[in-house]
Amino acid sequence: MEDTNTSHQVSYGIYILVWLGLVGLTLLTVSVAGLNLVSLTLVVALTIAIIKSLLVTNYFMHVRTDTRVFKVFIFVSLIMFLTLIILTFFDITFRTGGK
Amino acid sequence: MENDIAIEHSPIHRDDLGSKMGMWLFLFTELILFGGMFILYASYRYMHSDDFKVAAMRLDTTVGTINTIILLTSSLCAVLSIAALQKKQKLLSMYMLIFTIVLGGAFLINKYFEWSTKIHHGIYPRGPEMANFSDGEVLYYGLYFVMTGLHALHVIVGMIFLTFMLVFVAKDKLTYNNHQKLENAGLYWHLVDIIWIFLFPLFYLIH
């Protein structure tokens, strides 16, 4: 199909900026864990983790600039995984007695 | 014409888009592999949330943070390696690849020290110290060793994959307009990074 790869070129600077963002978010998530937010800690930590994953996926893995089919691929597989986890929790949260 | 060195026969048909799609499909199988374990973690944490907090206190957050930054930096180097190759900067590309692999090794060395400390204190599946743990703590450490262990195996595989790419770049088998294999290796490495991005807060930052 393609005999030469002329994929979208990104400058080094963007990658370094994304990396700085990732390191910053890492330090943020560690500091937030140090505050005593009880159950909110999990939500915040997971939100930051999702943002970091989006940065890695879109910029480092080039999904943002690639053809749209890859975004569709990822979307479908994430829906599948979310379905699994939600259905699992429908089960375990409504169990009574012996956990 | 570029790639004079490689031409001994008529050009071989390449399908870079297909190759990339194939790699992504493989990455989704990896997602399900680790995803299944994350679901197990979520379920047991839901059922034993206090025990999980207690168990997590024995992990060193500083080492975990350093390891996270090591992997993030290695991901940066991997993508810079591809960008350098696209810009025909072969030597820079190779240096970036070497640095990616070295950082992966640094991650593994840290993991080795973390694990050996635990094992030395009798904290391992069926270990003497774990016999005194509550059910929730036992589950936490079972998940900890399996998930970080499987992740470390993936780091090793990734390092081998990247080393092959390093050799290919050196031998001009991968060039500025023929580098899908290198991109695929990068994709695998980034997935390994993303898995750790979730492992880190879930095991180290439960407070």
Report the alpha-carbon distance of residue B24 to residue B190 in Å, rounded. Answer: 11
**Closest in A11, A30, A56 to B194, CB measured:** A56
Q: Is the pLDDT of residue A89 over 50?
A: yes
Predicted TM-score (pTM) of the model is: 0.92
Q: Is residue A98 part of a domain?
A: no
| Residue bearing the bigger pLDDT, B5 or A56 | A56
Given pLDDT bands bounded at 50, 70 and 90, which one contains residue A1?
Answer: very low
Residue A34 has a pLDDT of: 85
Cβ of residue A8 closer than 8 Å to a chain B Cβ? no
Structure confidence by residue, pLDDT tens digits, B126-163: 999 999 999 999 999 999 999 999 999 999 999 999 99
**Closest in B13, B47, B207 to A41, CB measured:** B207
Residues 6+ apart with CB under 8 A from A23: B69, B72
Task: Quote the ipTM score.
Answer: 0.90
* B193 neighbourhood in chain A, CB within 8 Å: 56, 60
Is the distance from CB of B181 to CB of B15 less than 8 angstroms?
Answer: no
CB neighbourhood size of B172 (10 A): 14
Residue A97 has a pLDDT of: 55
Structure confidence by residue, pLDDT tens digits, A59-80: 999 999 999 999 999 999 999 9
Cβ of residue A58 closer than 8 Å to a chain B Cβ? no
Per-residue pLDDT of chain B (207 residues; tens, 9 = 90+): 555 555 556 677 889 999 999 999 999 999 999 999 999 999 999 999 999 999 999 999 999 999 999 999 999 999 999 999 999 999 999 999 999 999 999 999 999 999 999 999 999 999 999 999 999 999 999 999 999 999 999 999 999 999 999 999 999 999 999 999 999 999 999 999 999 999 999 999 987
Question: Which residue in chain B has the smallest CA separation from A31?
Answer: B205
How many angstroms separate the CA of residue B118 from the nearest CA in chain A? Answer: 22
How many angstroms separate the CA of residue B20 from the nearest CA in chain A? Answer: 9
Cβ of residue A97 closer than 8 Å to a chain B Cβ? no
Tally the domains of chain A. 1
- Angle formed at CA B117 by CA B111 and CA B122, multiple of 5 degrees: 125
* A57 neighbourhood in chain B, CB within 8 Å: 190, 194
The CATH number of B18-204, from 2.40.30.10, 1.20.120.80, 3.40.50.300, 2.60.40.10, is 1.20.120.80
Q: How many CB pairs below 8 Å do chains A and B form together?
A: 131
Q: Is residue A2 part of a domain?
A: no
Report the alpha-carbon distance of residue B74 to residue A98 in Å, rounded. Answer: 45
Report the alpha-carbon distance of residue B197 to residue A22 in Å, rounded. Answer: 10
Q: Is residue A4 part of a domain?
A: no
Structural domain that includes position A41: 12-93
Cβ B39–A45 below 8 Å, yes or no?
Answer: no
Ordered by start, the domain boundaries in chain B are 18-204
Report the alpha-carbon distance of residue B31 to residue A61 in Å, rounded. Answer: 15
Beta bridge partner(s), residue B178: B175
Region of B148 (left: φ > 0; alpha: ψ -120 to 50; beta: rest) is: alpha
